Chains A and B, each alone.
Chain A
């Protein structure tokens, strides 16, 4: 029986996904976001084939080359090909986004929905904890964290994750509070469903769309924070081709060799812009008031 429901449900969810993608492609801004992100993912997946050079190999006889002559984006102060470093840097960026999102999304969703549905003292305690995390500027808390644990990419990811779950928890809580008095929740209670069951099966699916939208919009901030930490030398360590770190080292040569900072800067700009546009598009696509169209 379970097999049967799965075989029925899978195509439906796939069709819904297809509809959402079609909807996104219909508006130029979200189509642009989707396109840039597709490029980012493709670049990360096919990095070894796309890159013209090894991103780590130094060529001291060929430093600070202007774009052209076999180096489309020029070379940096150690003679490394900037284009190849950008392509491999896409992997680091995607790793950061992926890890932060799969940590932050579930934590925010669980804390938010449970405190929103259960209410009372649990809610108060949970919300005071999120208040504490919210009251720190995220970059500063990340800095403190990385300073305490030592600079590395993994610590940067943990630090970013720590600072970006509270807004999501807040959002999920607000959503859960609007649904907790709905008749279908009352019906579930009358069927004897436990609180856990109601939260997981009834509340969470309703909060998921807005959490997904928020998470997508959040990714732009995550990229900027990661780049910021990299820039300050507290994120990815050399010789990792992290975009923020590339700008940090390129800064010293910025006046004479503009390509060292311009291309990584453009990469950060376009990817965070793409996530913002995609998030906006998703907000329209997943709007519950338009659900009947799907």
Chain B
């Protein structure tokens, strides 16, 4: 149940008239079914915007986005929701502060009129490694890592085949980051999800992704396989610099540790 994602010549303009800003001048990426594809780059390079375009949260883009060979604009809303889901960066902002976990997980089931709701909710919450008793908790009774697990459970409950991960670990402690990454890794091994993962952290890419794209000013500078990190085999100067800086940082960290 994996799907491929093809983004071709995606561009988006914010604002109009003289203030118009072209954020993505023309992005093209191709993600294989079942692949974990990373998007790295500095802040403001358009990584998150690409995800928001793919998920149609932002819908005024030009170009082509195909999920499993179908144009994303032509997939009906309900089916699109059951195909792709998103996990957000900030677990403190992505859960409704006044909704219990039960409500959060129940809503998508009610919207899509699925049955066996209690079973599905229990399965989703055990899948992310939390006890069933957490169903009756509210977000302020959960830690950051637990919230992010709930956010992942919410994304899983409609059984999508494509997960868009918008820096899912950057707001978390290092030890919790590893837990969440391992959880995502395990889910992918079990279900064969396709992941598109935005991150700042090349160590995360090294851990999770098969390939990654380095983005610069809204354009894909270079697409590299994971193995290219270790020896810094990037050819584009910016990508080389980025990978090199990350390696140097990791090196000093290891030397100190």
Contact = CB atoms under 8 A, between A and B. Distances in A.
A194 B88 CA distance: 20
Contact of A190 (B85, B90, B100, B140): B85
A165 B111 CA distance: 32
A252 interface: no
Interface in A194-229: 194, 197, 201-202, 205-206
A194 B111 CA distance: 9
B22 interface: no
Interface stretch (A49-57, A61-69, A89-97, A178-186): A178-186
A238 interface: no
Given A186-B57, A186-B86, A191 B108 contact: yes
A192 B108 contact: yes
B98 A205 contact: yes
B98 A186 contact: no
Contact of A206 (B85, B95, B98, B154): B98
A1 B151 CA distance: 23
Interface extent on B, as a size class?
20 to 34
Contacts of A15: none
A5 interface: yes
Contacts of A26: none
Contact of A183 (B94, B98, B112): B94
B229 interface: no
A135 interface: no
Contact of A291 (B81, B97, B108): B97
A187 B88 CA distance: 8
A187 B154 CA distance: 9
Interface in B107-121: 107-108, 111-112, 117-118
Contact of B136 (A8, A188, A191): A8
A233 B128 CA distance: 67
Interface string A262-294: 000000000000000000000000001001100
Interface in B196-211: none
Contacts of B107: 188, 191, 193, 201
Nearest to B106: A5
B158 interface: yes
What is the predominant secondary structure among interface residues of chain A facing chain B?
helix
Contacts of A1: 117-118
Nearest to A294: B140
Interface in B82-141: 84-86, 88-90, 93-100, 102, 107-108, 111-112, 117-118, 136, 140
Contact of B90 (A8, A183, A191, A291): A183
Most buried by B among A190, A206, A288: A190
A205 B107 CA distance: 15
A202 B107 CA distance: 11
Contacts of A186: 57, 86, 88, 94
Given A184-B93, A184-B94, A188-B107, 15 more contacts: A186-B86, A187-B94, A190-B81, A190-B86, A191-B108, A191-B111, A191-B154, A192-B77, A192-B81, A192-B111, A192-B112, A197-B111, A206-B98, A291-B140, A292-B140
Interface of A: 1, 5, 8-9, 182-184, 186-194, 197, 201-202, 205-206, 288, 291-292
25 contacts: A182-B93, A183-B88, A183-B94, A184-B96, A186-B86, A186-B88, A186-B94, A187-B94, A187-B151, A188-B96, A188-B107, A189-B57, A190-B81, A190-B84, A191-B85, A191-B108, A191-B112, A192-B80, A192-B111, A193-B107, A201-B99, A201-B107, A202-B96, A291-B97, A292-B140
